Amino acid sequence: MAFKGALVIDTEKCKGCGVCITGCPNKCIALSKHVNGKGYNYLEVIDENACVGCANCAVICPDGVIEVYRAKE
């Protein structure tokens, strides 16, 4: 049974450190080319179909700006 994940990212609190990107097994997240109000390139989902909701990104995020939701397909 496959799972589908959905990420909710607080882009205004994201500092763009990129630590979460290393934890993503499917490489479905990356830093945006745009910046938030603080001037940081924030995290964004680049391939929402690849996300399986493993939550590695949320666990490894030092600022806790990522929420992961998971549903069965």
- For residue 2, the model assigns a pLDDT of 80
Residues linked to residue 5 through DSSP beta bridges, in sequence order:
70
Look up the pTM and report it.
0.89
Domain hosting 10: range is 3-72
The per-residue pLDDT for range 1-34, each reduced to its tens digit, is 688 999 999 999 999 999 999 999 999 999 999 9
Task: Count up the domains in the chain and report the number.
Answer: 1
- CATH at 67: 3.30.70.20
Q: How far apart are CA 12 and CA 41, in angstroms?
A: 10
Q: How far apart are CA 10 and CA 63, in angstroms?
A: 10
Mean pLDDT of the chain: 94
SS3 at position 35: strand
